[in-house]
A = this chain, B = another copy of it.
Amino acid sequence: MTDVHSSQTTSIQTEIRVRYAETDAMAVAHHANYPVWFEVGRTDLMHALGLPYAEVEARGYYLMLSGLNVQYRRAARYDDRLTLTTHVSEVRSRTLKFTYQLHRAVLGGSADLPAELIATGETQHIATDKAYRPARLPDEVLKLLQGG
């Protein structure tokens, strides 16, 4: 994974290889796997930001998903190597948004072989305590999510 983040932009690229178990009888990756991959992207991004999600939970918080949007452009297939780009797109004291672009083939390939866009998506999250009550994230957590 390669991280690119500053105080302005906060994103990361993750390689996803389509598992056989993720295919369906149409011989393409089943659509319900995309939010699972997005979650893998968030895990990578939070590691890169110095705030592994396991630490967020250890501090007593959950980031619960409140909204999901996916636009599927092209089908993905077994063994495809996909590149997922995950961005933090909005950080508020109690809510977060992430956006996602999923491409086939390595980003940054030659101009002759541009990556194909497979899907785009967005997730919305609410910070809660361990009793699932909305909670304000600590300032140092918010700062890390904003790219330091």
| Of the residues B52, B53, B70, B75, contact of A64 by C-beta under 8 Å | B75
Complex partner residue of A25 from B67, B69, B78, CB under 8 angstroms = B78
Q: Which of A30-38, A85-93, A106-114, A140-148 contacts B (4 or more CB under 8 A)?
A: A30-38
Count of chain A residues with a beta carbon within 8 Å of a chain B beta carbon: 39
Check if A101 is an interface residue, CB within 8 A of chain B: no
Q: Give the complex CA separation of A30 and B34 in angstroms.
A: 13
Chain B residue with Cβ nearest A24: B23
Q: Is the CB of B67 within 8 A of A71?
A: yes
Q: What residues of B have a CB within 8 angstroms of the CB of A35 in the complex? A: 21, 31-32, 35
- The reply to whether A79 and B64 contact each other, CB–CB distance below 8 Å, is no
- Distance of A26 Cα from B21 Cα, bound (Å): 10
> Contact at A36–B53, with CB atoms within 8 Å?
no
Report chain B residues within 8 Å CB of A2.
none
Which of B33, B43, B62 sits near A79, CB closer than 8 Å? B43
The answer to whether the Cβ of A6 comes within 8 Å of any Cβ in the partner chain is no
Q: Tell me which residues across on chain B come within 8 A of A31, comparing CB atoms.
A: 35, 65, 68
Partner pick for A40 among B19, B43, B68, CB 8 A cutoff: B19
